[in-house]
Amino acid sequence: MIDTHCHLNDEQYTDIDEIVNNYLSVGVDKVVCASSSFSASVKAGELARKYPSVYYTIGVHPDEVEEFDINKLETLVKNASNKLTAIGEIGLDYFHNKENKAEQKQAFISQIELANKYKLPIVIHCREAYGDTLEILKQHPAKYGAVMHCYSGSLEFAREIISLGYKLSFTGNVTFKNAKNVKEVAQNIPDDSFFLETDSPYLAPEPHRGTRNEPKNVLDVAACVADLRGVSKQKLIELTDKNAIAFYKFK
Ligand code: NI
């Protein structure tokens, strides 16, 4: 099983050997370490060099747009190992900041272009910015694929994203009792349109809610989505692994 999005590069993890052993011991054999800043991208690359099971992304999150520098980022991508699987997480976040929309959009578009140049898919962070995200994706398609990570939007928006050929991924938030919308999306989208993640150390799924999350808990996300779709956990994991491999093309 693959955890397609975790932040092993987060400073909350001071015990990475143990975290890696924890997920390997429950059958999670690959994780994608997602980056949100320049320094997190460097650290993700180091972790991918150290641990065979770790793949990674490079990117600047909309919350970190002030440090965005496309040349600096391109140098990192150019010198990356073949375990670099995507550009991300990138996108728009109007929940944390509505004052710098223009800068956020510019950084998002530049990073889509960077991904296209290096034939990589993108990992999108979107918070309270669905309309603008969709508009940018229509005008600047991600030619090698895109995933709306930690999906929490409507079923209608999910269908629009899927109609553009893009994917969704679900985190622990699908397991929360009050997450009616996300559950509805997870029940109603096509088999080939999604995969699973933890976004750890954040968003621990039930029954671990409120604790520091880690990649091994992706199995709880799988159990929940399997229930919602009325299939066995094993079948669901086979499906989402197949989708994740087609998207990230792990080398
Ligand atoms: Ni994340």
12-69 per-position pLDDT tens digit: 999 999 999 999 999 999 999 999 999 999 999 999 999 999 999 999 999 999 999 9
pLDDT of residue 225: 98
Helix (H) or strand (E) holding 90: strand 84-93
pLDDT of residue 3: 98
* Full set of structural domains in the chain with CATH: 2-248 (3.20.20.140)
- Find, among 149, 124, 169, 145, the residue nearest to 249 by Cα: 145
169-219 per-position pLDDT tens digit: 999 999 999 999 999 999 999 999 999 999 999 999 999 999 999 999 999
CA 185 to chain CA centroid, Å, is 17
Average pLDDT of the chain, as a whole number: 97
For residue 212, the CA-to-ligand 1 centroid distance in Å is 14
Q: Cβ(218)–Cβ(197) under 8 Å? A: yes
89-114 per-position pLDDT tens digit: 999 999 999 999 999 999 999 999 99
180-192 per-position pLDDT tens digit: 999 999 999 999 9
What value does the mean pLDDT take over residues 75-92? 97
Residue at token pair 């800068």: 103
DSSP assignments along 207-236, one per residue? TSTTSPP-GGGHHHHHHHHHHHHTS-HHHH
For residue 219, the CA-to-ligand 1 centroid distance in Å is 18
Which residue type occupies 179?
A
For residue 26, the CA-to-ligand 1 centroid distance in Å is 22
For residue 199, the CA-to-ligand 1 centroid distance in Å is 5
